[in-house]
């Protein structure tokens, strides 16, 4: 079963988070995970994927303009409807809008008719309500993206377990 992690990333944080999610996905037997920048997708793989996780940095507490445009222009030809869907974000401030980015991505996925899922509290701790958010250390010296690695990996593993239940 194929699962795709698709992201926008200018300075590498969201790409790193995507790779951690894919690492979690791959821990579930029978799954194949690939990460794609919105600027370099493999459309055949994405079309075949049973689930898609979308990720964006927080830009003014919103998804980036580039991923917004990409979603508007590409989702129609990539067979989004009916696939499982999730979302994640990175930010540089603890309260920098990551949850809002995820919420907007989930809204978009819902409008496509995707099966939005985060795990919520279904798996116990760590509870990941809407999707994982990582805060980098651009501004906050006490923070670092690495501190959030486990949440991204765990999220990927849970997402793949649920996808296997539904589509396996």
Ligand X SMILES: Cc1cc2nc3c(=O)[nH]c(=O)nc-3n(C[C@H](O)[C@H](O)[C@H](O)COP(=O)(O)O)c2cc1C
Cβ-in-10-Å burial (0-12, 13-18, 19+) of 29 comes to exposed
**Taking CB under 6 A as the rule, does residue 91 contact ligand X?**
yes
Q: Which stretch binds ligand X (CB under 6 A): 55-63, 72-80, 103-111, 157-165?
A: 55-63
**Contact status: 132 vs ligand X (CB under 6 A):** no
Q: Which range in 21-29, 31-39, 56-64, 70-78 contacts ligand X by CB under 6 A?
A: 56-64
Considering only 1, 2, 5, 13, the residue that binds ligand X (CB under 6 A) is: 13
Cis previous bond, 15, omega within 30 = no
| One residue of 31, 58, 143, 157 binding ligand X per CB under 6 A | 58
Residue 20 contacts residue 88 (beta carbons within 8 Å):
no
Q: Which of 24, 51, 97, 131 binds ligand X (CB under 6 A)?
A: 97
* Residue with smaller CB distance to ligand X, 1 or 101: 101
Total residues at interface with ligand X (CB under 6 A): 20
Residue 57 as a binder of ligand X (CB under 6 A): the answer is: yes
Is 123 within 8 Å of 158 (Cβ atoms)? yes
147 scored as a contact of ligand X (CB under 6 A): no
Is residue 110 involved in binding ligand X (CB under 6 A)? Answer: no
Binding mask 24-53 for ligand X (x = CB under 6 A): ------------------------------
- C-alpha to C-alpha distance for 34 and 110, rounded to whole angstroms: 22
The DSSP call for residue 145 is G
Cβ 136 to ligand X shortest distance, Å: 5
Sign of CA dihedral 54, 58, 62, 66: negative
Q: Provide DSSP, 49-86.
A: -SEEEEEEE-BTTB--HHHHHHHHHHGGGTT-TTSEEE
Contact between 11 and ligand X per CB under 6 A: yes
């Amino acid at each position: 079963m194929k699962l795709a992690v698709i992201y926008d990333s200018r300075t590498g944080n969201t790409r790193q988070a995507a790779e951690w999610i894919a690492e979690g996905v791959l821990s579930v037997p029978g799954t194949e995970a690939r990460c794609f920048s919105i600027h370099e997708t493999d459309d055949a793989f994405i079309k075949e994927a049973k689930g898609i996780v979308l990720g964006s940095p927080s830009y003014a507490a919103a998804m980036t303009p580039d991923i917004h445009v990409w979603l508007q222009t590409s989702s129609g030809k990539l067979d989004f409807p009916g696939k499982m869907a999730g979302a994640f974000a990175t930010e540089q401030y603890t309260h920098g809008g990551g949850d809002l980015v995820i919420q907007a991505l989930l809204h978009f996925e819902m409008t496509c008719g995707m099966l939005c899922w985060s795990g919520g509290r279904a798996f116990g701790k760590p509870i990941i309500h809407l999707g994982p958010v990582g805060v980098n250390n651009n501004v906050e010296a006490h923070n670092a993206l690495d501190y959030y690695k486990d949440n991204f990996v765990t999220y990927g593993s849970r997402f793949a377990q649920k996808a296997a239940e539904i589509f396996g």
